[in-house]
Amino acid sequence: MAILHVDVNSAFLSWTAIKLLSEGYPTDIREIPSVISAGEDDSRHAIVLAKSTPAKKYGIKTADTIYSARKACPNLVSFFPDFELYKYHSDRMYELLCEYSPLVERYSIDECFIDYTGCEALYGEPLSVAKEINRRIREELGFTVNVGLGPNKLLAKMASDFEKPDRVHTLWPEEIEKKMWPLDIADLFMCGRKSVRKLRNININTIGDLAKADPEMISGILKTQGRMLWEYANGIDDSPVLLHYDAKDKSIGHSMTTRTDIESPEEAAPILHWLCEKAVYRMRKAGYIATVITVQFKNSDFEYYSHQARLRGGVQTVEEVYAYSKSLFKEGWRGEPLRLIGVSLSGLVTEAAEQLSFLGGDLGGDSQLIEPEESVKNKKKSEALENALAQIRNKFGRDSVGHVTTRDYSKKPR
Helix (H, G, I), strand (E, B) or coil at 279: helix
AA identity, residue 95: E
Name the region of 10 (left: φ>0; alpha: ψ -120 to 50; beta: rest). Answer: left
Helix (H, G, I), strand (E, B) or coil at 214: coil
Homologous superfamily of the 1-170 domain (CATH): Reverse transcriptase/Diguanylate cyclase domain (3.30.70.270)
Per-residue pLDDT tens listing for the chain (414 residues): 999 999 999 999 999 999 999 999 999 999 999 999 887 665 666 888 889 999 999 999 887 888 899 999 999 999 988 878 988 999 999 999 999 999 999 888 899 999 999 999 889 999 999 999 999 999 999 999 999 999 999 999 999 999 999 999 999 999 999 999 999 999 999 888 888 999 999 999 999 999 999 999 999 999 888 999 999 999 999 999 987 544 344 678 888 877 677 888 888 888 888 888 888 888 887 778 888 899 999 887 777 888 988 876 678 888 889 999 999 999 999 988 888 899 999 888 774 333 333 333 333 333 334 445 444 444 545 555 555 555 554 444 444 444 433 333 333 344
Report the C-alpha gap between 171 and 163 in whole angstroms.
Answer: 13
Report the C-alpha gap between 267 and 223 in whole angstroms.
Answer: 28
What residues have CB less than 8 Å from 249, skipping those under 6 apart?
Answer: 286, 348
Report the C-alpha gap between 104 and 123 in whole angstroms.
Answer: 15
What residues have CB less than 8 Å from 168, skipping those under 6 apart?
Answer: 127, 130, 131, 134, 146, 147, 148, 149
Answer positive or negative: Cα dihedral of 12, 18, 22, 24.
positive
* Measured torsion, CA atoms of residues 254, 259, 265, 267, in degrees rounded to the nearest 10: -110
What residues have CB less than 8 Å from 183, skipping those under 6 apart?
Answer: 206, 207
**Reported pTM:** 0.68
User: Of the residues 105, 111, 267, 319, which is catalytic?
Assistant: 111
Q: How deeply is 22 buried, as exposed, middle or buried, from its count of CB atoms within 10 A (0-12, 13-18, 19+)? A: exposed
**Strand ranges in 272-381 using DSSP code E only, listed in sequence order:** 290-299, 304-315, 338-346
- Which pLDDT score is estimated for 40? 67
CATH class as words, domain 181-233: mainly alpha
Cβ atoms of 282 and 246 within 8 Å: the answer is yes
Homologous superfamily of the 251-393 domain (CATH): DNA polymerase, Y-family, little finger domain (3.30.1490.100)
What is the side-by-side order of every strand in the sheet holding 77-79? 47-51, 34-38, 77-79
CA angle (76 as vertex; 184, 400 as ends), nearest 5: 115
Cβ atoms of 129 and 114 within 8 Å: the answer is no
- Which pLDDT score is estimated for 80? 87
Domain boundaries, the chain: 1-170, 181-233, 251-393
Query: Is residue 111 annotated as a catalytic residue, yes or no?
Result: yes
Report the C-alpha gap between 117 and 86 in whole angstroms.
Answer: 29
